[in-house]
Homo-oligomer: A and B are copies of this chain.
Amino acid sequence: MSHASTQALLARLNIALPILQAPMAGVSSPAMAAAVTAAGGLGALGLGAAGAEGARRMIAEFTARCTGPLNVNLFTHPAAQADAPREAAWISRLRPAFAAYGAEPPERLGEIYTSFLADDAMLALLLELRPAVVSLHFGLPDAKRLAALRGAGITLLATVTNLAEARLAEAAGIDALVAQGYEAGGHRGMFDPAAPDDRLGTLALTRLLATQTGLPVIAAGGIMDGAGISAALALGAAAAQLGTAYIGTAESLADAGYRAALFSEAAHHTVMTSAISGRPARSLANRFTALGAALDAAEIPAYPIAYDLGKALHIAAKAAGEPGYGAQWAGQGAPLARRMSAAALTRALAQELRPA
């Protein structure tokens, strides 16, 4: 924690610890984010699925609990290309899974999230509420939107998975890079999911970006404890981002089936799959990842259209007592997850980081 880059980033983010809680749509909560920020890290909300009004409520809940900095995360995917035949075939493909739980799939699928690239209401909300940090996942908005956020005094982070994406982020004026290694849980932030993925591990990617770019690097993927954070700093990262470590905390929105899977043998077997949402994401091995492994990725509709069906299947199966079709996102560090509050976990991480 003596690195100049760490000190500069912590000053910029107005936090004491080199710890960012990963923004996990559907898992992170205002209570989780507030607990992390109050403990000296940077709490985060995943707002990619929330819409502007949902985002306003969640940010207000955070603000009611905590006056410190907040990182709000947005999805910046290109608008989904609808493809009715592919979507109909996908519905047919999953129909037997619905039937196994006495349910029918929906007749058609929709683009359930509006990308931040096209969400003027969300942009207006951010310019009004001015969270300390906005982080971007799946790519970069246009220069005008970035300039507006920057003009509002907001620090900008972007997830990158390789050096080429890092260079694009640097050229766009992003303030710091979230280096998302292949170990990381949840959606892989690659800008173009159709491009070949070099699948860079957290160790290799962090060191590459720390040596080859001029931006502060926040390492993400497989980091679960103070030793992991220290390793990230040793690689030249300015800080570390932890998501999976917070899934099992008291403040998490993860449901009982997800928590049970996290603290089971399934934690040793995470799988990168596009079958749940339409984009590659790392999940605990479950019924949905098994289904995904058995089919051709070309069958899967675009993100987030596929996710419309994935969520419906999860709801149907869960109603019948089967939790295994959930989007049980988790990284490869899952076996090291701990059951405690987000506040206690953040304090434990700080303690583990302190020089012996």
- A residues in contact (CB < 8 Å) with B: 162-164, 181-183, 196, 198-205, 207-208, 210-212, 221-225, 227-228, 230-236, 268-270, 331-333, 335-336
A230-B234, A231-B232 as given contacts; A223 in contact with B201, CB under 8 Å = no
With a cutoff of 8 Å between Cβ atoms, the chain B residues found around residue A182 in the complex are 182, 199, 201
- 18 inter-chain pairs at a CB distance below 8 angstroms, sorted by A residue, are A163-B268, A163-B335, A181-B203, A182-B182, A183-B204, A198-B270, A201-B201, A202-B202, A203-B203, A203-B221, A203-B228, A204-B221, A204-B222, A204-B333, A207-B336, A231-B232, A233-B234, A234-B234
CA distance A224 to B223 in the complex (A): 20
Check if B227 sits within 8 Å of A268, measured CB to CB: no
- Greatest chain B CB density within 10 A among A210, A228, A233 is at A228
- Greatest chain B CB density within 10 A among A162, A201, A212, A232 is at A201
Identify A202's interface contact among B164, B201, B227, B268, CB under 8 A.
Answer: B201
Check if B231 sits within 8 Å of A332, measured CB to CB: no
Check if B207 sits within 8 Å of A333, measured CB to CB: yes
CA distance A323 to B182 in the complex (A): 30
Check if A198 sits within 8 Å of B234, measured CB to CB: no
With a cutoff of 8 Å between Cβ atoms, the chain B residues found around residue A162 in the complex are 268
A-B pairs, 6 with minimum CB distance: A204-B222, A201-B201, A204-B332, A231-B231, A230-B234, A183-B201
With a cutoff of 8 Å between Cβ atoms, the chain B residues found around residue A196 in the complex are 269
Question: Residue on B with the closest CB to A235?
Answer: B231
Check if B204 sits within 8 Å of A331, measured CB to CB: yes
A234-B231, A234-B234, A235-B228 as given contacts; A335 in contact with B201, CB under 8 Å = no
Check if A225 sits within 8 Å of B203, measured CB to CB: no
Check if B212 sits within 8 Å of A231, measured CB to CB: no
A192 to chain B, nearest CB (A): 15
CA distance A181 to B204 in the complex (A): 10
A6 to chain B, nearest CB (A): 14
A165 to chain B, nearest CB (A): 12
With a cutoff of 8 Å between Cβ atoms, the chain B residues found around residue A202 in the complex are 201-204
Check if A332 sits within 8 Å of B200, measured CB to CB: yes
With a cutoff of 8 Å between Cβ atoms, the chain B residues found around residue A222 in the complex are 201, 203-204, 207
Question: Residue on B with the closest CB to A163?
Answer: B268
A201-B202, A203-B223, A269-B198 as given contacts; A208 in contact with B163, CB under 8 Å = no
A51 to chain B, nearest CB (A): 34
CA distance A271 to B224 in the complex (A): 27
CA distance A310 to B178 in the complex (A): 39
Known: A204-B222, A204-B333, A207-B225. 5 other contacts (CB 8 A): A183-B204, A198-B332, A200-B332, A201-B332, A230-B234
A163-B335, A207-B336 as given contacts; A221 in contact with B201, CB under 8 Å = yes
With a cutoff of 8 Å between Cβ atoms, the chain B residues found around residue A335 in the complex are 163, 208, 212
With a cutoff of 8 Å between Cβ atoms, the chain B residues found around residue A204 in the complex are 183, 202, 221-222, 331-333
A274 to chain B, nearest CB (A): 16
